[in-house]
Amino acid sequence: MSSYNPGSFSHNKPRRVKFNVPATAEALKLDVVGKNIHCLHPDKHYGGFDQNPSCRLNEDYFYCFSCGSSGDAIDMVQLVLGYSFSEAWDYLSMRVPCDALTPVNQVTRFDKELAANGHQVFTRLFELASMPTLENLGGRYLSNRKLNPELCGSLGVRYLEDPSKAWAILCSEFSLDDLEVAGIVNNAGTFHFEEHPLLFFFLHNNTPVYLAGRSMQANPKIKELKPVGLSCPVPYLIDVLLTKPTALYICEGLIDTLSAAQLGISAIGAPGANSFPENWLELIPKTTRIHVLFDRDPTGENSAIKLQKLFRSYFFRADALVVPIGKDVNDFLIKKVL
């Protein structure tokens, strides 16, 4: 397999400011309980609200112990105020003290450990999981969404038949430090994806660089889970960009991105409506026309317009679209199949 360079997706800006996260929460007048706030991604919590403040504030980042979402001060301002990257930067520079300047392409000790050990854990977990088929629950879950399990498998989707067995194997082959660096150990010290066995691996040059787990329960408390403490390094289905598409669709979420792929559309996925970092724009050729295709609801439509404006500020040809039928791309696929 090809090696993964953790610095290959760095932003071109030569230096960046690291703003203090607790001070940012104070500036935003968030309700801080001890060192925690209510999660900034309420849609990932049962009932659409983080009942107990589950999001821990550290100096440089915030992390939700319930849903696994994380980010820095810039992300916090973008989520709370709906600002662009530049607007959030300006907001913070006027209100929040910052740490020393650091090179943006500096590879930290954590990055080195993740490259050396964490991605080996991702690769081993990928090997331990099964292809989704109609013979297992993972494949049937996808099929119920009118997704072709074989296609999904070719794009990196896997199903853990026995999460406990997979966890035991990982524990026998890796140290606890390696497993923690990979973000697959939860706050209780057990397997983070035990109850989220449908795994969506983010493949870059056929190498797993990130993953997300999905619950297949009817009404799960948390539907989708990300690795503990890791930010998503690339869009979902990033290898679509290797084909240099003349038109590219940006979808909201993993299921919608897979649905677009099944419809024959060149698409990459943002983890959520407000989760397309500005530095990801560097990955896309300027000649590519961008179609932002988020959910057909107020949040999705507003976020699509903001992302469209971000692309246009970087001189991309971009527009914001909604599906002609249904509430999202997967719903459109289902209605089209039926």
pTM of the predicted structure, to 2 decimals: 0.69
Give the pLDDT confidence of 264-295 residue by residue, as tens digits: 999 999 877 677 888 888 889 888 999 999 88
Lowest-confidence pick of 88-97, 120-129, 186-195: 88-97
Indicate whether 170 pLDDT > 90.
yes
pLDDT at 309 over 50: yes
Comparing 87-101, 107-121, 163-177, the range with the smallest average pLDDT is 107-121
Give CB contacts under 8 A, 24+ apart, made by 104-113.
Answer: 104/10, 104/11, 104/13, 104/14, 104/15, 104/16, 105/7, 105/10, 105/11, 107/6, 107/7, 110/181, 111/6, 111/7, 112/6, 113/177, 113/178, 113/181
pLDDT at residue 115 greater than cutoff 80: no
Q: If you average pLDDT over residues 315-320, what whole number do you get?
A: 92
Instruction: Please state the rounded mean pLDDT for residues 146-164.
Output: 97
Q: What are the tens digits of pLDDT across the range 235-272?
A: 999 999 988 899 999 999 999 999 999 999 999 998 77
Asked if residues 202 and 9 have their Cβ atoms less than 8 Å apart, the reply is no
Give the chain's domains with CATH numbers: 15-103 (3.90.580.10), 109-225 (3.90.980.10), 238-337 (3.40.1360.10)
User: What's the chain's average pLDDT?
Assistant: 84
Q: What is the pLDDT of residue 117?
A: 67
For residue 326, how many other CB atoms are within 10 A of its CB? 16
CA distance 198 to 142: 9
What number of CA atoms fall less than 13 Å from residue 264's CA on the CB side? Answer: 0
pLDDT more than 70, % of the chain:
88
Percent of the chain past pLDDT 90, that is, above it, reads 44
List pLDDT tens digits, range 8-19: 333 333 334 578
Phi, psi of 37, rounded to the nearest 5 degrees: -130, 165
Give the pLDDT of residue 90: 80
Residues in the chain: 338
Other Cβ atoms within 10 Å of 9 Cβ, number: 18
